[in-house]
Amino acid sequence: RKEVEQDPGPFNVPEGATVAFNCTYSNSASQSFFWYRQDCRKEPKLLMSVYSSGNEDGRFTAQLNRASQYISLLIRDSKLSDSATYLCVVIGDYKLSFGAGTTVTVRA
Amino acid sequence: DAGVTQSPTHLIKTRGQQVTLRCSPKSGHDTVSWYQQALGQGPQFIFQYYEEEERQRGNFPDRFSGHQFPNYSSELNVNALLLGDSALYLCASSAPVMGETQYFGPGTRLLVL
């Protein structure tokens, strides 16, 4: 079983729509969680950390469910510029484990 | 404030050759991690350096080795290159705190022919 698994998508949504996707992790001792965004042929860039109580950053909402070992990302009011691959990152013992990414395409 | 920098940006090698990739961390960071990202995949953790020592290692063979210098910059060396080593190699730096956010450099694209 992979350490971090994501639905690869693609999620193809119209502008203004809401899109949400999950990421599951296998190590119950994982300590920190993040969502990164990666544009085509670019490096990953931090989108947001994921806190136990859930957190929002503008149109983005992240949730953590430790009991079921998954994190989620919800994007409201999608913009064309939200088109990217979203990588789930789990940290345990100083090691980052990445999911393979979920591709989101927002169409006009 | 310079972010993470990597060199070279692109590299072409042939099978069996050796390659060295370089990374300078973001100002104030002293921990450097290296990742390999194949096309269509997420980054795979190679190893992390802190205080000039390898602190953690992923599932990569000994052909992959590294070094960290006193100024916190780092090198990734790959010996006996295989076609399958063709990938984007990413360096990330962070502060030495468990769970601290990592910031990525632009990467080095390696093509092995």
CB-based burial label for B49 (10 Å; 0-12, 13-18, 19+): buried
Can you give the pLDDT at residue B108? 97
Please give, one letter per residue, the 3-state secondary structure of A61-81.
Answer: EEEEECCCCEEEEEECCCCHH
Residues of B in contact with A94 (CB under 8 A): 48, 50, 55-56, 98
Q: Inspect the interface and report whether the beta carbons of B42 and A45 lie closer than 8 Å.
A: no
Say if residue B75 is exposed, middle or buried (CB neighbours under 10 Å; 0-12, 13-18, 19+): middle
pLDDT bucket at B95, cuts 50 / 70 / 90: confident
| B19 C-beta neighbours (distance < 10 Å), count | 18
Cross-strand bridge partners of residue B112:
B13
Give the tens place of pLDDT for each residue, A46-104: 999 998 888 999 999 999 999 999 999 999 999 999 999 999 999 887 678 999 999 99
Distance CA B32, CA B19 (A): 18
Residues of B with Cβ-Cβ distance to A52 under 8 angstroms: none
Cβ atoms of A11 and A104 closer than 8 Å = yes
pLDDT band, very low/low/confident/very high, at B1 (cuts 50, 70, 90): low
Q: Which residues of chain A lie closer than 8 angstroms to B101, CB-CB?
A: 34, 46, 49
Residue of A nearest to B102 (CA): A46
Residue B99 has pLDDT above 90, yes or no: no
State both tokens at A30: 């994982």
Cross-strand partners of B37 = B88
A95, amino acid identity = K
Closest alpha carbon to A60 in A52, A68, A49: A49
Predicted confidence (pLDDT) at residue B79 exceeds the cutoff of 80: yes
What single-letter amino acid sits at A15?
E
Query: Are the C-beta atoms of A43 and B105 separated by less than 8 Å?
Result: yes
pLDDT tens digits for range A86-101: 999 998 876 789 999 9
**Residue B102 near chain A (CB below 8 Å):** yes
What pLDDT does B76 receive?
98
Q: Between A and B, how many CB-CB pairs are < 8 A?
A: 52
3-state helix, strand, coil in chain B (%, to 5): 5, 50, 45
- Between positions 26 and 55 of B, the ones with CB within 8 A of A are 33, 35, 40-45, 48, 50, 55
Contacts of A43 in chain B (CB under 8 A): 90, 104-107
Which chain B residue shows the shortest CA-CA distance from A3? Answer: B44
Residue B98 predicted with pLDDT over 70: no
Q: What residues are paired with A73 via a beta bridge?
A: A21, A62
The closest CB to that of A43, out of B44, B50, B107, belongs to B107
Place of tokens 């350096």: B49
Q: Does the pLDDT at position B97 exceed 80?
A: no
Whether B101 sits inside 8 A of A31 (CB atoms) is no
Pick the residue of B98, B100, B110 with the most A CBs within 10 A to test the interface with A by mutation.
B98
Measured distance CA(A4)–CA(A26) in Å, rounded: 7
Asked if residues B33 and B60 have their Cβ atoms less than 8 Å apart, the reply is no
Instruction: Please identify which residue in the block is written with the tokens 């960290």.
Output: B68
What's the whole-number mean pLDDT along residues A7-12? Answer: 90
Residue in A43, A96, A101 closest to B105 by CB: A43
Residues 6+ apart with CB under 8 A from A58: none
